[in-house]
Amino acid sequence: GKRQTQLKNDSALASKQKALEIRLNLYGENHSNTALSYHEIGITQNKLEDYKSALVSNQHALQIRLKLYGEYHPDTAQSYHEIGCTQSNLKDYKSALKSYQHALQVRIKLNGKYHSDSGHSYHQIGFIHHNLKDYKSALESYQHALEIRLKLFGEYHSCTSLTYHNIGVAQLEMTDYNSALESHQKALQIRLKLFGEDHHETARSYREIGVTHRKMKSYKSALESNQHALEIRLKLFGKDHRATAQSYDGIGVTQYDMKNYKSALQSRQHALQIRLKLFGEDDPETARSYHNIGVTQYQMTDYNSALESLQKALQIRLKLFGEDHRDTARSYLEIGTTHRKMKSYKSALQSHQHALQIRLKLFGEDDPDTAQTYRHIGLTQHSKQSMQDYKSALESYRKALQIRIRLYGEYHPDTAQSYQDIGIIQDLLKNYK
């Protein structure tokens, strides 16, 4: 009976912990099999999203392996790599970068550059640089990985397609849209050959091509690619899936850019319905859907509905992130803009000042978002149409201008916009010269 009970408790984690217990008993701490048990437990804890425990397990394995083999051994490299993976999951990207670089050094010394493990290390280092917003370094690492993978696996391999995909994502962040499009199209060609049309990786490529076309203002092509991705995702996952909601969102944002607000609203409402079903009300993606719907309703001059949607997004964001968060600030700004259109100037000003306080706290004075908020405060003061309010508006516009000159210099569209705002107010104040 007791043995039957023990055998029933055979989850991955329980079984691996039992193996560790036996190995500690048989071999003690400093043994290759004990290290392997710690390593395996770490893998399962990572899958269970218990990253702190996974880190402890992986560090145990590393300490034993360093003691047994020293630095330059495949198992030591593997431990550094797993530690990097766990630190990345904990969003401790700086530590993850060090761990991955450690693994890469060992792997290059043991196997040379042209080895699948070295390629994998370069790829992960690229991913970390990307998360640290160092897109130039990310691109360099991804290109190293691509060179290795092309040599080892050739063009038509899933690892090669993934590397082209990530190169495209980095190039997009660097606003090199032509190169990004080329990289994503290469990834798509490989994926179509390897997996065919109806595969989640193929859908991902269509989506990224859509995002890139949109950045290039090729809205028709962007819409086609996003619709392609949606069709595949509906076929593979059905309607109620995170990826399907993401595709509706991508279609919505493109329709919005094309000023087809009615269609954009429908797409965004589709995304919201899925997210409410999957995640419930209190989720960042649900909040984003409410926000996007609100912004679309604003463009359709349905200000009451817009205000309602934007306030829903704000309530969720306050619950999830608290006051001092960039998304909360964005909600306050959009609510303020909607109040201004409804001629509720006092409420508009309060919301904009709320946004300003958060942005000053998060980003400081010299930030594009802070400048944008000063401008919106100015626009609201300007709308109140009294001489006193024009003077206040002038002060706000000047603040926005000073920041923009410091950030961009004279010759920039935002700087020109600020000079224009000041010119219009000076006209109203009769300061013609």
Token pair of 310 as six digits: 């934007």
The pLDDT, as a whole number, for residue 193 is: 98
Q: Which of 367, 304, 306 is nearest to 334 (CA)?
A: 306
Tell me the pTM. 0.89
- Where residue 212 falls among pLDDT bands split at 50, 70, 90? very high
- Where residue 8 falls among pLDDT bands split at 50, 70, 90? low
The pLDDT, as a whole number, for residue 2 is: 43
**Residue 409 DSSP class:** -
Give pLDDT tens digits for 356-393. Answer: 999 999 999 999 999 999 999 999 999 988 888 999 99
Separation of alpha carbons 148 and 170, rounded Å = 18
AA identity, residue 418: S
pLDDT at 415 over 70: yes
Helix axes 51-69, 74-89, angle to 10 degrees: 160
Give pLDDT tens digits for 150-200. Answer: 999 999 999 999 999 999 999 999 999 999 999 999 999 999 999 999 999
DSSP 338-387: HHHHTT-HHHHHHHHHHHHHHHHHHH-SSSHHHHHHHHHHHHHHHHT--H
CATH tag, 1-111: 1.25.40.10
SS3 25: helix
What is the overall mean pLDDT for the chain? Answer: 96
Mean pLDDT calculated for residue range 230-244? 97
- Where residue 5 falls among pLDDT bands split at 50, 70, 90? very low
What is the percent of the chain with per-residue pLDDT over 70, rounded to a whole number? 98
How many Cβ atoms sit within 10 Å of the Cβ of residue 235?
Answer: 11
- Where residue 3 falls among pLDDT bands split at 50, 70, 90? very low
Give pLDDT tens digits for 60-72. Answer: 999 999 999 999 9
- Where residue 10 falls among pLDDT bands split at 50, 70, 90? confident
How many Cβ atoms sit within 10 Å of the Cβ of residue 238?
Answer: 10
Helix axes 177-195, 158-173, angle to 10 degrees: 160
Name the residue ranges covered by the structural domains of the chain: 1-111, 383-432
The pLDDT, as a whole number, for residue 433 is: 81
- Where residue 59 falls among pLDDT bands split at 50, 70, 90? very high
The pLDDT, as a whole number, for residue 9 is: 58
b vs e for 147-165, b when ≥16 Cβ sit within 10 Å of the residue's Cβ? ebbbeeeeeeeebbbbbbb
Helix ranges restricted to H, 132-283? 135-153, 158-173, 177-195, 200-215, 219-237, 242-257, 261-279
From the number of C-beta atoms within 10 Å of its C-beta (0-12, 13-18, 19+), residue 344 rates as middle
Q: Long-range contacts: 26-31, Cβ < 8 Å, 24+?
A: 29/64, 30/64, 30/67, 30/68, 31/64, 31/68
Mean pLDDT calculated for residue range 245-268? 98
The pLDDT, as a whole number, for residue 386 is: 85
Token pair of 393 as six digits: 């508006």
Mean pLDDT calculated for residue range 269-273? 98
Mean pLDDT calculated for residue range 272-283? 97
How many Cβ atoms sit within 10 Å of the Cβ of residue 227?
Answer: 16
Mean pLDDT calculated for residue range 289-295? 98
